[in-house]
Amino acid sequence: MKGWWWKGISVALLLYVVVVGLRTRLGPTLVHASIDRIAPGGASLEATGYNTHFLRETPQAWLENDGQRICATHVEVVSNNSFKADFNVPAGLRSNLTSLWAWDAKDGPLVLRDAFFTEGLGQGMAGESCTVGSAPRKGFNFPNRSILNETIRNLFFHVPMWFTMMVLMTIAFWQSLMVLRTGDPAADRKALAAVDVSLLFAALGLITGSIWARATWGDWWTSDPKLNGAAVTVLIYAAYLILRGSVPDPHKRARLAAIYNIFAFALMLVFTMVLPRLTDSLHPGNGGNPAFSQYDLDSSLRAVFYPAVAGWVLLGLWAYDLQRRYARLKHLADEVNDR
Amino acid sequence: MHTAEIAHLLRLEWELDRRQKHVWGSMALYVVSTVYVCYQGVRHLAEVPVWNALFWIILLFAAFNALGRSFQRESQGRQLYLYTLASPRSVVLARTLYNALTMAVLSLLSLCAYALFIGSGPLEQSRADIFLAVVLAGGIGFAMALTLIAALAARAGNGIGLMAILGFPIVLPMLLSVMKASKLALDGMGWNVTGKYVLWLVLIDLITVALAWLLFPYLWRD
């Protein structure tokens, strides 16, 4: 691609991703209740929220059991992130799990699902459910999920690394095909440049993924089909570089490297696209484990994720372009020196 | 596709091997001595996962050892002569087939030696038929994936060392699924559980053979 405009777009997109992706607050949610079981009679609890605004307006609080609601008799706000509530729990609730809900105009409905183990079950409570507010929250926030918490922002960095790597490896694959078809040494230089840059992005993908795994799964590395696929990919392209290093003759090197690249790329696609779907996996998007689309009910993640993918891919192409031009100049300089 | 040509090349391979009996002897000796070293280390193994893993590690290295020589035993001159007589695609298909046969024999041999020394306890509660099928599929799979790699390494003028580096990432995913399938067979699971892994292996084999068929003509052309 000629010109500077797409480099400008890349920088602008990544600037937007860093600023919006890191500065947008997570949506408010309830994270903790001070008790974990309720029995018929009086119950008092203190609920803890995250990014909530209880001081602005005392929230409504209620328990919900199998569609039946029990409103708090008294709510006392302690801080922006916590309130105390008292309930009169009736006998005969139907489900043994009860959720805690709260609502205020700023935060919208908040829920701590299945927060309490319920005692004194029966055929449902007598009397009507109370009425509560339901107006949704306004404003732009990222989804707040347990376990993921603030690390959800890593979506804009970890995932695009692999997308960029795949784009660059596809370029390398294409250039390798060109090497076999035309024997053009420039195509070989392009393939090598693309592999070099794609390995950089693979390393960044591994680092961001490792940090994320540590924060959510509790370990830097786990044995998982998706992670094995990533490891195999990196090993394949490291082997590609070693193969290049062990053949001195440039024409032979170009051809052998192209053959290995084509063989390995085709198999890598099979290994990383098909194999992880065959087995169970912790990783989102595999083995019946949904990707991020399920969290992203109001598309707030998409509003940053898509620009992030475009920005990182363009940055990768930019790096590839520089690497390719550097290799060409070096080649020309070598030719001059040889003369 | 020249069936007659491939059959001729297979016969040639067989004749070469028959005249160089030490080649087969060295492969068998490699497997038996590796198993014996493991035996000295662990004596008898009863835990199924460890038994399974050790077996596949031994078979993997036996495969690298056996297949590494498949493009190196002829001199450059004779290779060139061979290539003027037959089409490169027939050569690679014949080599792949012959390597697959070699690996089938070698995996059975390894299994016998392994069961003899390390213990056949895990086999007793297993679905032995499925385990045997998985071992054969795995051995043949290694042969199919590594034939082109062996040719590449031989062309690069760098022996088994380079082949291990180039081949390891290619066989690793295959190894993972074959280990899982054989573990399931050892646990006594039926075809309904292990079947999809065997099917997946056959699929990879077909893809690797197709790729080798496509790419080999570019490899031998100098």
A153-169 pLDDT, tens per residue? 999 999 999 999 999 99
The b-or-e profile of A247-257 (16+ CB within 10 A means b, else e) is beeeeebbbbb
Residue A70, in any domain of the structure:
yes
Q: Note whether A201 and A253 are same-domain residues.
A: yes
Q: Note whether A49 and A189 are same-domain residues.
A: no
Instruction: List, in sequence order, the alpha helices (H) in chain A.
Output: 5-23, 155-182, 185-216, 225-245, 250-273, 275-278, 300-338
Residue A197, in any domain of the structure:
yes
Give percent of chain B above pLDDT 70.
96
Residue A202, in any domain of the structure:
yes
Q: What ipTM did this prediction achieve?
A: 0.86
Total domains present in chain B: 1
Residue A139, in any domain of the structure:
no
The helix or strand, by DSSP H or E, that contains position B66, with its residue range, turns out to be helix B48-68
CB–CB of A255 and B219 under 8 A? Answer: yes
CB–CB of B222 and A235 under 8 A? Answer: no
Q: Which of B156, B200, B204 sits opposite A246 (nearest CB)?
A: B156
B147-190 pLDDT, tens per residue? 989 888 888 876 678 888 899 988 888 888 888 888 888 888 88
Q: How many A×B Cβ pairs under 8 Å?
A: 84
Nearest CA in chain A to B180: A279
Range of the domain at B114: 3-220
Total domains present in chain A: 2
Q: Is A258 exposed, middle or buried (0-12, 13-18, 19+ CB in 10 A)?
A: buried
The helix or strand, by DSSP H or E, that contains position A50, with its residue range, turns out to be strand A41-50
Distance in angstroms (rounded) separating the CA atoms of residues A46 and A87 = 11
Domain CATH number, residue A38: 2.60.40
Is the CB of residue A252 less than 8 Å away from at least one CB of chain B? Answer: yes
CB–CB of B173 and A229 under 8 A? Answer: yes
Of residues B66 and B157, more confidently modeled: B66
Range of the domain at A221: 149-338
Cα→Cα distances A156→A10, A303, B95, Å: 14, 10, 48
Is the CB of residue A242 less than 8 Å away from at least one CB of chain B? Answer: yes
Q: How confident is the model at residue B17, as a pLDDT?
A: 79
Q: Note whether A97 and A158 are same-domain residues.
A: no
State in Å, rounded, how far the first CA of chain B is from the last one.
23
Amino acid at B96: T
**Contact (Cβ atoms closer than 8 angstroms) between residue A109 and residue A26:** no
CB–CB of A267 and B168 under 8 A? Answer: no
Comparing CA positions, the residue from B110, B131, B124 lying closest to residue B57 is: B110
Q: Which of chain A's residues have a Cβ under 8 Å away from the Cβ of B180?
A: 279
Distance in angstroms (rounded) separating the CA atoms of residues A192 and A189 = 5
Q: Note whether A221 and A330 are same-domain residues.
A: yes
State in Å, rounded, how far the first CA of chain A is from the last one.
32
CB–CB of A239 and B169 under 8 A? Answer: yes
Is the CB of residue A229 less than 8 Å away from at least one CB of chain B? Answer: yes
Distance in angstroms (rounded) separating the CA atoms of residues A322 and A324 = 5
Distance in angstroms (rounded) separating the CA atoms of residues B85 and B9 = 10
Provide the pairing of β-strand A108-118 with A37-38.
Answer: parallel
Q: How confident is the model at residue A294, as a pLDDT?
A: 62
CB–CB of B218 and A243 under 8 A? Answer: no
Amino acid at B129: D
B36-61 pLDDT, tens per residue? 998 888 877 778 888 899 999 999 99
Q: Note whether A38 and A94 are same-domain residues.
A: yes
- Average pLDDT (B187-198) is 83
CB–CB of A275 and B218 under 8 A? Answer: no
Q: What is the mean pLDDT of chain B?
A: 85
Q: How confident is the model at residue A333, as a pLDDT?
A: 93
Q: Which of A235, A263, A274 sits opposite B215 (nearest CB)?
A: A263
Residue A138, in any domain of the structure:
no
Of residues A127 and B73, more confidently modeled: A127
CB–CB of A278 and B177 under 8 A? Answer: yes
Residue A5, in any domain of the structure:
no
B108-136 pLDDT, tens per residue? 999 999 988 888 877 887 788 888 989 99
The b-or-e profile of B23-54 (16+ CB within 10 A means b, else e) is bbeebbebbbebbeebbeeeeebeebeebbeb
Residue B222 has pLDDT above 80, yes or no: no
Q: To which residue do tokens 């690390």 refer?
A: A151
Q: How confident is the model at residue B142, as a pLDDT?
A: 92
- Tell which of A118, A139, A168 closes a domain: A118
CB–CB of A256 and B155 under 8 A? Answer: yes
Give the helix, strand, coil percentages of chain B, each rounded to 5.
85, 0, 15
Q: Is A103 exposed, middle or buried (0-12, 13-18, 19+ CB in 10 A)?
A: buried
Residue A302, in any domain of the structure:
yes
Stretches in chain A below the pLDDT threshold 50: 287
Smallest CA–CA distance, residue B11 to chain A, in Å, is: 28
Q: Which of chain A's residues have a Cβ under 8 Å away from the Cβ of B196?
A: 278
Q: Note whether A263 and A155 are same-domain residues.
A: yes
Q: Note whether A210 and A315 are same-domain residues.
A: yes
Q: Note whether A110 and A161 are same-domain residues.
A: no
CA A124 to chain CA centroid, Å, is 41
Q: How many CB atoms lie within 10 A of CB A220?
A: 10
Q: Which of residues 171-190 of A touch B (CB under 8 A)?
A: 180
Q: Note whether A179 and A267 are same-domain residues.
A: yes
